[in-house]
């Protein structure tokens, strides 16, 4: 497979527009506000700080287990098709060989059920970056770290 292909995976937001995230360091879940793509208030950063433990990680390392599973599941249908297509191409040039469609070459992934985002957790707003509110479990809402600069604040 030489061609790169992108599979769009849409993740659900809760009714306040927050996306569930999981910290790669403390492995606890929180949510950050999902800005629209053209939102001028969105902070463009290469890394985020965990609101719960304050440890920073790259902006694409915050997937929850459920989101990764869902993403792989959604991608697998497209990958499956691409594998079958390239196998069919490979067999085309060989005389006397015929690849049956839907043969046992199929990787046979299951299509995942859509994710549902419940309205749990409480909103905390860092005074240093009020445009970047986060949602944390109620037990952790008293003190949190700013997603953008890592400053600790009392909510
Ligand atoms: Zn953490
Ligand atoms: Zn901040």
Digit-coded pLDDT (tens) for 76-89: 777 777 777 887 78
Q: What pLDDT score does 133 carry?
A: 96
Q: What pLDDT score does 74 carry?
A: 75
The pTM of the full predicted model, rounded to 2 decimals, is 0.74
- The number of domains in the chain is 1
- Compute the average pLDDT of residues 112-124: 89
Task: Specify if 100 maps to a domain.
Answer: no
CA distance 32 to 48: 10
CA distances from residue 141 to 11, 54, 136 in whole angstroms, order as listed: 24, 14, 6
Task: Specify if 130 maps to a domain.
Answer: yes
Task: Specify if 37 maps to a domain.
Answer: yes
Distance from the CA of 34 to the center of ligand 1, in angstroms?
19
**What range does the domain containing 24 cover?**
18-65+120-154
- Tell me which of 24 and 96 has the higher pLDDT: 24
Where does the pLDDT of residue 111 fall: very low under 50, low under 70, confident under 90, or very high at 90 and above? low
Task: Specify if 48 maps to a domain.
Answer: yes
Among all bound ligands, the one having the nearest atom to the CA of 134 is 2
Which letter, b or e, does each residue of 21-52 get, where b requires 16 or more Cβ atoms within 10 Å of its Cβ?
A: bbbeeeeebbbbbebeeeeeeeeeeeebbbbb
Task: Specify if 39 maps to a domain.
Answer: yes
Among all bound ligands, the one having the nearest atom to the CA of 137 is 1
Distance from the CA of 48 to the center of ligand 2, in angstroms?
10
pLDDT of residue 94 exceeding 90, the answer is no
Indicate the SS3 state at residue 76.
helix
């Amino acid at each position: 497979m030489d061609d790169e292909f992108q599979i769009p995976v849409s993740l659900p937001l809760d009714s306040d527009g927050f996306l569930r995230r999981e910290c790669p360091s403390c492995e606890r879940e929180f949510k950050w506000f999902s800005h629209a793509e053209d939102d001028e208030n969105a902070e463009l950063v290469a890394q985020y700080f965990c609101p719960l433990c304050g440890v920073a990680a790259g902006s694409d390392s915050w997937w929850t287990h459920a989101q990764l599973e869902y993403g792989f599941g959604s991608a697998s249908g497209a990958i499956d098709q691409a594998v079958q297509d390239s196998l069919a191409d490979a067999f085309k040039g060989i005389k006397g060989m015929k690849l049956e469609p839907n043969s046992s070459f199929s990787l046979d992934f299951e299509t995942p059920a859509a994710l549902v985002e419940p309205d749990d957790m409480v909103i905390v707003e860092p005074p240093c970056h009020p445009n970047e509110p986060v949602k944390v479990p109620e037990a952790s809402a008293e003190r949190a770290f700013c997603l953008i600069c890592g400053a600790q604040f009392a909510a």
